[in-house]
Amino acid sequence: MRYSLIMARFSEIAIKSPPVRRRLLKILVENIKKAFKENKIAARVYAKWERVFVETKQIKKATQILKHIFGIVSFSPAIKVELARLEEEIAKYAKLAKNKTFAVRVKRVGKHTFTSKQMEARLGSIIAGKTKSKVDLSNPQITFFVEIRDEDAYIYFENIPGPGGMPLGSEDEVLCIIENKKDLVACWMMMKKGCKARIYSSISIKPLNKWMYGDVKIIEKKEAEELAKYLPIISGNTLTDGFIKAESLVFYPLFALTEEEIEEIYRKINI
C-alpha cells in the first residue's frame, strides 16, 4: 500500500475554546516534529482545525513514534486524492475486498452536492461491481474509510490507537521523584495530562524514554530539593501505602487504583 501521509486525531483538545485549541495544536505539532527529528524521520507536520497531518515517506517508522505522542487519540496512514478522482481511486483498491465482505464509511467536512450515505452507496457499488463481494455493515472483513474535506479525500483502512491525553508541556510543572515502579507510572500519568515533568529518579526510567517528546527535564538531586519547595510532588503511593511527608502539595494519581490496574498501565508504558 502506498500511503501518502498519516492523519492524526485528537479528542480532549477538540473541546477547548478556539484560542486554547490553537495553542494546544501548536504544542502538539512541535512535539511531533521533535520526535521525528530525534528519530531521523523526514516529514512535514501541520495542523488543520480537526486533524494533524504528517506527510512522510517513512510511514512505518513514523507510525511507531506516533503511538507515543500524548494528545493523539488515534491515527491512520492514508491516501490523499482530489475529490474529483475519488471514485477512480477507489476502483484501484477495490481488489482488497475480493473474496471478503466489506463496508464503506464516509465522513464529510464542507459543502457538497451529495450526502455521506449517498457517497457510501456510490463507492460501495464500485467495489461490489469490481469484485462481486458482498456488503456487511455489521461485521465487515475490510472497511474502506473515506474522509472528505472540501475538495480533498483521504482513503484509509485502519484506526491505530494513540495514548490520548493532552500534549506534553501544555500544563503546569510538576516534580516527579521516582523511587519505584509505581512512582514511574504516576509520572507517566501526569505526563499524559500534559504536565511539564521535572524528573529526579534513583532507578532506571528507560520505559519513559520513548514518551518524552515535549517539555520534560531530567534533574539532579540538588535541583529536585529546590523544586520541592514550590512545585507539586507526584507520588506513586496508593491507599494501601498511605501519604508521604512533604512541605508542598502532593498529587497521588494512583491512589484509588489496585496493584493489577497499576501493572496494566506499566505494561502499556513498555509497549
Residue 193's pLDDT is 97
Give the CATH number of domain 173-269; options: 3.40.50.620, 3.40.50.200, 3.40.449.10, 3.40.50.300: 3.40.50.620
Give the residue from 81, 15, 75, 16 showing the smallest Cα distance to 45: 75
Per-residue pLDDT at 99: 96
User: Order of strands across the sheet with 173-178?
Assistant: 216-218, 196-201, 173-178, 233-234, 250-251
The domain spans of the chain are 5-161, 173-269
Q: Is the pLDDT of residue 1 over 80?
A: no
User: How would DSSP label each residue in 3-71?
Assistant: --EEEEE-SGGGGS-HHHHHHHHHHHHHHHHHHHHHTT--EEEEE-SS-EEEEES-HHHHHHHHTT-TT
Q: What is the mean pLDDT of residues 204-218?
A: 97
195-198, Cβ contacts within 8 angstroms, sequence gap of 24 or more: 195/168, 195/171, 196/168, 196/169, 196/171, 196/172, 197/168, 197/173, 197/234, 198/173, 198/174, 198/223, 198/224, 198/227, 198/231
**Phi and psi based region of residue 64 (left: phi greater than 0; alpha: psi -120 to 50; beta: remaining):** alpha
Cell of 41: 524521520
- Are residues 6 and 54 in contact, defined by beta-carbon separation less than 8 angstroms? yes
State yes or no: pLDDT of 11 exceeds 90: no
So what's the pLDDT on residue 207?
Answer: 96
The tens digit of pLDDT for each residue in 105-160 reads 999 999 999 999 999 999 999 999 999 999 999 999 999 999 999 999 999 999 99
Q: What is the grid cell recorded at 86?
A: 475519488
Q: What is the 3-state secondary structure (H, E, C) of 159-210?
A: CEECCCCCCCCCCCEEEEEECCHHHHHHHHHHHHCCCEEEEEECCCCHHHHH
* 247 phi and psi angles, rounded to 5 deg: -80, -30
Give residue 184's pLDDT.
98
Fold for the domain defined by 5-161: VC0802-like (3.30.2130)
Taking Cα atoms as reference points, which of 163, 221, 212, 162 lies closest to residue 187? Answer: 212
pLDDT digits (tens, 9 = 90+) for 231-255: 999 999 999 999 988 888 999 999 9
Question: 167-199, pLDDT tens digit by residue?
Answer: 999 999 999 999 999 999 999 999 999 999 999
**Confidence band of 271 (pLDDT split at 50, 70, 90):** confident
Predicted TM-score (pTM) of this structure: 0.92
